[in-house]
Structure 1
Amino acid sequence: MTPRVTEFLQITSPHEVSSELRREMVECWVTVSNAGGAVGFPFPPVGFDQVAAVFDQISTGLSPQSSRFLVALVDGTLAGWLNVRRDVNPLIAHWGTVHHVQTHTGFRGRGIGAALMRRLHDLAREEMGLEQLHLAARGGTGLEDFYGRLGWKEIGRWPAALRLGPGDDRDEILMVLEL
């Protein structure tokens, strides 16, 4: 039987991240990164302390107006998470960016990523008042197909913007979702 997301947590303040949740989110990020996931650490292996330092920087900036975590739980176990941010500058405050979308490797292929993105759509529109979401995806991983199935549109590419190794240059794919 395919597990379903049983709960979404929306975290809008650094004080809402318990030490246990921090540990689980960082461990998820380490696991996903070391499995080759395009979540911000392109050169595995990464360790807990390295990822925790970046996680703590993001966590410190959480606020209802500008940055949130969305966490998916299955039967109380962390199955995936993402970060959505917006710039409060009135010129661009109508759109946000999505970062670090990840499904724990133990939950891959079970619809967790799609469920996170569907919940994000509603959260961004209804709770944050956003009109668009933007993201950048690493080419060569099939992510543009995943996001495309969820209504995202490719709006451009930066050819060979990402160098993962000698002879392994990837496009950065720019995508938008109208809310």
Structure 2
Amino acid sequence: MSIAVHPVQQFTSPGEVTPATRQKLAACWVEVTNAGGAAGFPFPPIDETHAAPAVDAILGTLAPATSRLLTAASDGELVGWLNIRRDASELIAHWGTLHHVQTRPSVRGLGFGASLMSEARRIARDEMGLRQLRLAARGGAGLEAFYGRLGWREVGRWPGALRLSVDDYRDEVLMILDPL
């Protein structure tokens, strides 16, 4: 089975992100969250008033050494994105964390997520000089299998750590990609 490779765009500073791209990031985040995706908001539905300030907070941290934004597009429409972050502490500056990994439900299974993850790996290793990547995923959504196919492995689990509704608690699955 071959995986489709899609172009991924990288942003390394807040000034590179246009207002239109900012709006597309927020719209994607709203769509993914409202479709049940675990991308940072616990209790859908959300709208742009929730997502836009969160996007702005991420964009405000963009810097070549510590925070990168990657986006995937199809026919000019943003269909997915993620954020790579490195902690400035020398003790842990050799690893990074992926945040807000998401693709629109309409394009899942078409390779956009895999392309984002592949490019994140390359950038982390070749441009940021990282040795490993980490992420936390919501259990019960099949994400462990997706990441596993891309070389990630589960290293821990926090049972019931994520509260999605009054009676829906999920494990937070801790995963690592090492070596890059």
Distance, in Å, in 1 between the alignment partners of 2:140 and 2:150 is 18
**Is the CA contact (8 Å cut-off) linking 1:85 and 1:96 kept in structure 2?**
yes
2:6–2:111: 8 Å Cα contact kept in structure 1? no
Determine if the alignment matches structure 1 residue 35 to structure 2 residue 31.
Answer: no
Matched, 1:44 2:44: yes
Q: How does 1:62-73 map to 2 (within 5 A)?
A: 62-73=62-73
Between the aligned residues of both structures, percent identity stands at 58
- State the alpha-carbon separation in 2 of the partners of residues 96 and 135 from structure 1: 9
Matches within 5 A, 1:3-18: 6-18=6-18
User: What displacement does 1:111 show?
Assistant: 1.1
Contact 1:5 1:73 in 2 (8 A): no
Matched, 1:124 2:115: no
Q: Give 4+ residue runs of structure 1 displaced > 3 Å after superposition.
A: none
2:145 equivalent in structure 1: 145
Counterpart in the other structure of 1:25: 25
State the 1:75 CA deviation: 3.1
How far off its partner does 1:5 sit?
5.5
Contact 1:6 1:75 in 2 (8 A): no
Any gaps of 5 or more consecutive residues in structure 2? Answer: none
- Measured after TM superposition, the shift of residue 95 of structure 1 is 0.2
Structure 2: which amino acid aligns with 1:157?
R
- More displaced 10-residue stretch of structure 1: 57-66 or 160-169: 160-169
Q: What's the offset of the Cα at 1:76?
A: 2.5
Deviations 1:90-126, CA, capped at 9 Å, x for gaps = 1100000000011122322211101110111111100
Deviation at 1:6, TM superposition (A): 4.8
**1:160 is aligned to 2:160:** yes
User: Which amino acid in 1 is paired with 2:165?
Assistant: G
Amino acid at match of 2:57: Q
Q: Is the 8 A contact 1:135 1:176 kept in 2?
A: yes
How far the C-alpha of 1:165 sits from its partner, in A, is: 2.2
- Contact 2:6/2:115 (8 A) holds in 1: no
- C-alpha distance after superposition, 1:126-147 (max 9, x if no partner): 0110000000001111111111
RMSD (Å), alpha carbons? 1.2
C-alpha displacement of 1:33: 0.5
What TM-score do you get using the length of structure 1 for normalisation?
Answer: 0.94
Aligned partner of 2:98 in structure 1 is: 98
Bigger mean CA offset, 121-130 vs 68-77: 68-77
For residues 25 and 139 of structure 1, the distance between their equivalents in structure 2, rounded to whole angstroms, comes to 24
Q: For 1:37 and 1:160, how far apart are their aligned partners in 2?
A: 17
Letter in 1 for 2:150: L
**Match of 1:84, as an amino acid?**
I
Q: How many residues align?
A: 176
Separation in structure 1 between the aligned mates of residue 166 and residue 80 of structure 2, nearest angstrom:
31
